[in-house]
């Protein structure tokens, strides 16, 4: 009895997983790039019908029937759509976030209908991560360096020591600001990198150890403190999900300033 139930459950699960996966072809694309969805046809005949639809509402985009191509008016796809008449391949150029979603192709040849689905994920252009020091966490032995990025989703932020991964943090579909701390001892002369990546691209920021404060007292410098503390407070706020637009704008300004902390810090030391 139990075995039968388990088996049934298994069948359901398998069907659920593989039913979707085999149907849906995944496509990843960077914002601003183009992508082509292949219909897999070689020569469309006069009697064949090919139709592309988009999104959960399956809105028609373009169709070939009786040898004619019909475009359906949609702001999102205007000037961005190319359909290969011979093959039915669909190309979308200069993509943005609004082209993210499922594209459904239906082909009718000799009264036989075939459906194909393409799940297109559009990834935003990544910002370069910003590295700054958290002076409130300096100790006699080490200081804490934070690597931050604003308003990101579907990314992983990581710290590498030489080529080894030290730590990372991932963001799924929410657009939030994140920071990842790294403790660096004063004598440490290793190379550290902070890397922000999504499945198709990455941005790297090298940690400039010589630009960091070299002793506890350097790190406590008041001048440096003002800027960085403000940044940390804002990043923490954003982390807690209170990412009001005003705060985010402030944060951007402050992070930009924090980018210049090295200069300020050098003046302090
Ligand atoms: C296809 O185009 C031809 C000529 O432009 C027209 O006569 C015919 O009605 C069109 N067929 C369809 C199905 O729209
Ligand atoms: C690409 O699309 C954006 C809007 O999403 C537009 O501002 C930009 O001008 C377009 N670029 C080209 C080359 O068409
Ligand atoms: C954050 O990202 C979202 C989606 O990528 C965008 O719509 C929004 O304008 C961004 N906000 C800021 C402050 O950059």
96 Cα–ligand 3 center, Å: 13
Query: Which residue, among 36, 63, 61, has the nearest Cα to 48 in the 3D structure?
Result: 63
Q: Whose alpha carbon is nearest atom 1 of ligand 1?
A: 68
Same domain as 79, residue 144: no
The two beta strands, 81-83 and 142-152, are unpaired
Strand-by-strand arrangement of the 90-92 sheet: 35-37, 90-92, 81-83
Please indicate whether residue 63, judged by its CB atom, sits closer than 6 Å to ligand 1: no
Query: Of the ranges 95-109, 177-191, 224-238, which one carries the lowest mean pLDDT score?
Result: 224-238
The β-bridge partners of 151 are: none
Same domain as 247, residue 161: no
- pLDDT at 244 > cutoff 60: no
Q: Whose alpha carbon is nearest atom 10 of ligand 2?
A: 94
Contact status, residue 194 vs residue 180, Cβ threshold 8 Å: yes
Please indicate whether residue 97, judged by its CB atom, sits closer than 6 Å to ligand 2: no
60 Cα–ligand 3 center, Å: 28
Contact status, residue 178 vs residue 160, Cβ threshold 8 Å: no
Its pTM stands at 0.66
Identify the pLDDT of residue 187.
87
Q: Using CA atoms, how far apart are residues 249 and 226, in angstroms rounded to an integer?
A: 18
Same domain as 231, residue 188: no
Domain that holds residue 182: 140-220
Identify the pLDDT of residue 141.
87
35 Cα–ligand 1 center, Å: 29
For position 202, which CATH number holds? 2.60.40
Give the chain's mean pLDDT.
79
Phi and psi torsions of 203, nearest 5°: -130, 140
Output Rg (C-alpha) for the chain, integer angstroms: 26
Candidates 30, 32, 98: which one to mutate for ligand 2, based on the most atoms within 8 Å of Cβ? 32
Same domain as 148, residue 67: no
215 Cα–ligand 2 center, Å: 49
Residue 168 Ramachandran class (φ > 0 left, ψ -120 to 50 alpha, else beta): beta
Domain boundary residue, one of 123, 150, 165: 123
Instruction: Kindly state the average pLDDT of the residues 216-221.
Output: 72
Identify the pLDDT of residue 84.
93
Same domain as 207, residue 177: yes
Alpha carbon 182 to its chain's center? 23
- pLDDT at 123 > cutoff 80: yes
Q: For 29, what's the count of Cα atoms within 13 Å in the CB-facing half-sphere?
A: 25
- pLDDT at 184 > cutoff 80: yes
Contact status, residue 50 vs residue 60, Cβ threshold 8 Å: no
Q: Has residue 9 been placed in a domain? A: no
Closest ligand relative to 75 C-alpha: 2
Q: Whose alpha carbon is nearest atom 4 of ligand 1?
A: 68
Query: Which residue, among 223, 221, 65, has the nearest Cα to 143 in the 3D structure?
Result: 221
The structural domain count of the chain equals 3
pLDDT tens per residue, range 77-95: 989 999 999 999 999 999 9
Q: Using CA atoms, how far apart are residues 92 and 36, in angstroms rounded to an integer?
A: 6
Identify the pLDDT of residue 13.
43
Identify the pLDDT of residue 63.
95
* Ligand 1 atom nearest to CA at 68: 1
């Amino acid at each position: 009895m139990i075995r039968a139930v388990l088996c049934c459950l298994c069948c359901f699960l398998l069907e659920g997983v593989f039913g979707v996966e085999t149907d849906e072809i995944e496509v990843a694309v960077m914002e601003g790039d183009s992508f082509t969805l292949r219909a897999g046809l070689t020569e469309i005949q006069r009697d064949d019908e090919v139709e592309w639809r988009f999104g959960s509402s399956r809105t028609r985009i373009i169709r070939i029937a009786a040898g004619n191509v019909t475009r359906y008016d949609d702001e999102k796809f205007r000037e961005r759509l190319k359909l290969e008449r011979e093959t039915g391949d669909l190309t979308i150029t200069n993509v943005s976030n609004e082209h993210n979603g499922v594209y459904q192709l239906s082909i009718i040849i000799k009264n036989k209908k075939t459906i194909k689905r393409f799940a297109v994920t559009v990834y935003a252009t990544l910002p370069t991560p910003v590295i700054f020091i958290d002076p409130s966490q300096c100790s006699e032995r080490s200081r804490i360096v934070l690597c931050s990025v604003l308003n990101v989703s579907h990314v992983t932020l990581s710290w590498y020591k030489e080529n080894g991964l030290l730590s990372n943090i991932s963001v799924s579909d929410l657009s939030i600001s994140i920071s990842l701390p790294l403790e660096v001892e004063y004598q440490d002369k290793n190379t550290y990198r902070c890397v922000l990546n999504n499945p198709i691209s990455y941005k790297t920021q090298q940690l400039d150890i010589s630009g960091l404060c070299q002793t506890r007292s350097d790190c406590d410098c008041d001048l440096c403190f003002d800027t960085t503390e403000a940044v940390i407070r804002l990043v923490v706020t954003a982390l807690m999900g209170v990412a009001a637009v005003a705060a985010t704008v402030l944060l951007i300004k402050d992070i930009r300033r924090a980018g210049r902390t090295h200069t300020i810090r050098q003046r302090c030391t």
